[in-house]
Structure 1
Amino acid sequence: MADNSTIAKQVIEAAGGKENIASVAHCATRLRVMLHDKEKADISAIEEIEKVKGAYYNSGQLQIIFGTGTVNKMYDEVMKLDIEGKTKSEMKEETKDQGNLFQRWIRTFGDVFVPIIPALVATGLFMGLRGLVTQPQILALFGLAPEDISQNFILYTQVLTDTAFIFLPALVAWSTFKVFGGSPILGIVLGLMLVSPALPNAWAAAGGEVDPIMFLGFIPVIGYQGSVLPAFIVGIIGAKLEKGLRKRIPEALDLILTPFLVLLIMITAGLFLIGPIFHIVENGIFTATLWVLDLPLGLSGLIIGGLHQVIVITGVHHIFNLLEIQLLERVGENAFNPLITAAIAAQGGAALAVGMKSKAKKMKALALPSSLSAFLGITEPAIFGVNLRYMKPFVMGLIGGAAGGFFASIVNITASGMAITVIPGSLLYIDTFFGLAMYVVTNAIAIGVAFGLTWAFGYDDKMLEKTK
């Protein structure tokens, strides 16, 4: 077995040598290599290197899949070879103009929302735990009833579950300012202004409890608690405005005038123009999402469960973050999560079948850990390292995802949060026994169908020779 140092040298050589490498960075699972000439890289040779779970060229980068944990060690070994290292943000700056306009915008959308997802994941888990501990059946085990729960305890749980969504515009504006090169603190303040208690509360206005403030007699002005798009657009324009002002305002006045003008101009535009317009857009997206999720006869599960991983390949799946956030904020539950969970679990099931059926040691060492990664919610090693390489396992995984999604849609299960799936995702369903049980069955169907079809029709070791 080769050590990490040897593997790093083999990777660099197969990538065209040190002189062909502009820079290297890494994410959770992949080594990201910027090349001077991609034609000099031998991807087939890279895929044959020990510990490599797949390689492909995307978004202007050679992306080499090692998996969680391993990629950090490989990056350290590459750095020892005097290769220029860069942070993910620096590499994103290098690749921001690559791909078509839609791909660039979706990539930017992901850059904004990925940093705030951990807070929303935690909030979802808090929601699930609150639902669990307030169940009459659970309380009965301790000789309690729902009316015995202290109101102070309920208030405490509301702080845990409501805060991130109440101040979501502040989180979004902060991250948007950061991504677009503005001052994040100005983003936070702008976001907080959008949810100022001086404005009519968005949820109260939606429920008819209060009326919007009508500016000029026809522009409705409300708070934007839980909204995403108004803060996102305000953040983009605000960051660009700040950068433009700093170039034009004398340094002696910059500290005073720039933040003053950014906040004044952007909150005015946010409340009276951007907010009203993009709140309508946001409502339209939400209505379309509900329409898809409400399709009869399990069609939503068939469509989303069957096609989700195809969209993941394109790299534009970050748009789903907006949909899940809106579901949680407006409905209080996430019907999208079990459908994409089925899609993810199925790819793991297909990779597991390949690993168990193959007699090749290299394939077993690649496919089995990749399937485990998928069962933990990360499908890149399974998709790019195994299933998509031989295509049939990937297709069988799509079928398994459709089957699992169909079942989840029929039984109508929903999650209390977002962003975690398969095994970790079970924490989002613990508030009811039925929901947890149906979630387990959903995953079992997706994995079972994908595994069975891949074993029977999707893979044999003859494919190894064809691929070579």
Structure 2
Amino acid sequence: MKRKDYALEAKRFVDAAGGKENIESYLHCVTRLRLNVIDKTKVNEAEIKDSPLAKGINWTQNQLQIILGTGVVEAVYAEVQKIMEVSNASMDEKLDNSKLEDFKLQVKANKETLRNKSWFFGEIQKGMRVLGDIFVPIIPAIVAAGLAMGVSALLKQILNPSGEQLNSLLWIIVDIVTKTAFDSLAVLVCWSTVKRFGGNPVLGIIIGLMLVNPLLPNKGSIAAYNAQLDFYNNQLIEGLSKNEIYKAWVEAGLKWIGQAPTFDANGNVITNAVMGDPITAIKVWIIPITGYQGSVLPALIIGVAVAYLEKWIKIWMPKAVNIIFTPFLTITIAFLVALFIFGPILLMVEQGILIATKAILGIKYGFGTAIIAGVLQGIVITGCHQVLQGLEMQLVIDGSLPGANGAAATGSIFNAIWTASIISQGGAAMAIAVKAKDKSDKELGFSAAISTLFGITEPAIFGTNLPKIKPFIYASIGGFFGGLFAGILNVTCPGMGVTVIPGLLLYTGNWTKLLGIIGVNIISFGVAFLLTLFLFKDGIQSKKTKLGLKFEQLKNKIKLDKFKIKRKSAE
């Protein structure tokens, strides 16, 4: 189709949606043009369906979704953007003042009526819509990186079972391809959030890059170093040599932070193993500062703050210097707040989570592991899960060395907990794919579920489960029962870092443990899948229908079509 034809259809969609004055915001996903309208009664659905480009429409609360298909939606969105860039001032001038006032009052009446009738449902739907608007644009990148990371983890387990560090150019390139999207997740989330709330997306990118700057210590690296340091000091006290400590650490499948020992051709030691330089939080007075690598919720909150901060500064900033000082102040204030206020609060939350996790794991009869598996993906959303890395390392090491009485310890159960929490998200995503009527929803659900088979949950959480809320809850319940099974049977292994299918290789040394982890996968996936399949009502289909019927009933009751505002005479 020619460009001018896309422009004509874009104008058709805008006009059919009630005009520019009725569109609060707009965006697009892989296949749909999404228009957030103020008053649904102004939308002409028949006109939209008459378009040769429209394959159908859906409603999610007040968001009109026009299904256009991949490729077409980008072209139409570009034309809609040109139409919507006309200033509100010029738009208002084209409307009769009395009609505009009537329109605003009518919309307010409609909103109040619906809010009073179904406030809670409306707020839930609004939150779901916001999450969808934020994560839909970045899901393709996360899905692609997730699948690549899963395949990479599986190949490394097969080709490098010893867990030795791979330094070949091929594996370095693979790591770049697979890890960049996840290491920069805070950047993607911050960009999309700022854009969604009406701020300058470029400022979101800059703030996000600041949050993951390599100069800021990585919380995961800090946790790993502290775990290695504790183990190193404890084993020195026990009488092990530095090289024996290094050997025990590496044989447990853990990466050594520091210098490895070197040997000559006869096996004689040339240099001993050495601990690396300390990795700690940067201290400014008493305030610890770290990076936000891999964090989602902090980046989302900061992104919202950036958008509103920019708008507030623009209100009082002189226009002559607005283009210079507004971005400068927005970036500076937001970054300082993130580092010196939000960051320390998050660190305290992380320490609380670590203490609580240690205590909960001590609960008997599998309930401790069940609780952790049930809430673990919720912790992942906050980005606080990295603090658990040191605890997991300690469990792995304790399980690979003789205990105080000389008997071998049982290993780490944390891998089974991770597996239960991850594969359950895949079960919920798979159920959504099975139930979905729309082709794009099916494809997203299936690809997200496949990612979890390789231990990657981001596509499932942010692409399907969390925006719909209930599937995420059902997945957490599935994780609970998988964790309960793991705790009752003590499903442990001498390793960490890989889960679900690649993680099975960690259990091949003990067939009973292997059967146990297979059971964890089946139970977690199955419970989440069945709960979502039978209890979740597809938000795009059934909820839309219920909300639509309710709106029609209210409309008929208060006669919105004939609703007029009576003004008192000035006499």
| TM-score normalised per structure 1 | 0.52
Task: Give the AA of the match of 2:300.
Answer: F
| 1:100-138 per-position Cα deviation (integer Å, ceiling 9, x unaligned) | 556544543443233333333333223222222223x55
Which whole-Å CA distance do the structure 1 matches of 2:313 and 2:38 have between them? 36
Match of 2:61 among 59, 62, 65: 59
Residue matched to 1:215: 284
Change (3 A) 1:129 1:114: same
Residues 130 and 157 in structure 1, CA contact (< 8 A), matched pair in contact too: yes
Residues 1:416 and 1:249: Cα distance change in structure 2 (over 3 Å):
same
Which secondary structure state, in structure 1, belongs to the residue aligned with residue 323 of structure 2? helix
2:5 aligned residue = none
Is the CA contact 1:165–1:329 (under 8 Å) kept in the aligned structure 2?
A: no
Distance in 2 of aligned mates of 1:162 and 1:63: 33
1:72 paired residue number: 68
User: How far has the Cα of 1:405 moved from its partner?
Assistant: 7.9
Which residue does the alignment assign to 1:340? 425
| 1:311-339 alpha-carbon deviations (Å, 9 max, x no partner) | xxxxxxxx969539765896596643311
Give distance in 1, aligned partners of 2:217 and 2:479.
Answer: 42
Q: Quick one: which of 343, 366, 369 aligns to 1:275? A: 343
Residue number in structure 1 paired with 2:220: 203
1:45-444 → structure 2 map (5 Å cutoff) = 58-60=60-62, 71-72=67-68, 101=123, 104-105=126-127, 107-135=129-157, 137-138=158-159, 150-206=167-223, 207-208=225-226, 209-216=278-285, 218-281=286-349, 296=367, 323=381, 335-345=420-430, 406=481, 410=485, 429=501, 432=504
Counterpart residue type for residue 296 of structure 2: V
Distance 1:63 1:284, change over 3 A: farther
Aligned residues between the structures: 353
Write the distance in 2 (CA, Å) between the matches of 1:61 and 1:268: 35
8 Å Cα contact 1:132-1:432 kept in structure 2: no
1:404–1:445 CA contact under 8 A, matched in 2:
no
CA distance in 1, matches of 2:424, 2:289: 36
Q: How far apart in 2 are the matches of 1:369 and 1:184? A: 26
Contact preservation (8 Å) 1:200, 1:210: yes
Q: CA deviation at 1:272?
A: 1.0
CA-CA distance at 1:32 after TM superposition: 7.4
Give the match's secondary structure for 2:367. coil
Which runs of no fewer than 5 residues in structure 1 stay unpaired?
Answer: 1-17, 43-51, 65-70, 77-84, 305-318, 353-365, 379-397, 418-426, 455-468
Contact residue 166 and residue 226 of structure 1 kept, 8 A: yes
How far apart are 1:440 and its partner, in Å? 8.4
Q: Aligned equivalents of 2:176 and 2:441: distance in 1?
A: 38
Shift of 1:220: 1.4
Q: What's the CA shift for 1:158? A: 2.8
What are the superposed Cα offsets for residues 396-446 of structure 1, whole Å, 9 maximum, x if unpaired?
A: xx9999789846873679x999xxxxxxxxx97357578997798569956
**What is the CA distance between 1:301 and its match in structure 2?**
11
- The 1:26/1:289 distance shift into structure 2, 3 A limit, reads farther
Q: Which residue of 1 aligns with 2:262?
A: none
What is the Cα deviation at residue 242 of structure 1? Answer: 1.4
- Classify 1:211/1:60 alpha carbon distance in 2 versus 1 (closer, same or farther; 3 Å): same
- Identity across matched positions, percent: 30
CA, structure 1 residues 132+175, in 2 after alignment: closer, same or farther (shift >3 Å)? same
Question: AA paired with 2:381?
Answer: L
Q: 1:328 to 1:375 in 2, by over 3 A?
A: farther
Q: Cα gap change, 1:429/1:289 in structure 2, threshold over 3 Å: closer, same or farther?
A: farther
Whichever residue aligns with residue 296 of structure 1, its letter is: F
Structure 1 residue 240, shift from structure 2 partner = 1.4
* CA 131–347 in structure 1, closer or farther in 2 if over 3 Å, else same: closer
Query: Counterpart amino acid of 1:210?
Result: I
Measure how far apart 1:187 and its partner are: 1.6
- TM-score of the superposed pair, with normalisation by structure 2: 0.44
Tell me what 2:551 maps to.
Answer: none
Two-structure CA RMSD over aligned residues (Å): 6.1
Report the Cα distance in structure 1 between the residues aligned to 2:301 and 2:194, rounded to whole angstroms.
10
279 and 183 in structure 1: CA distance in 2 versus 1, 3 angstrom threshold: farther
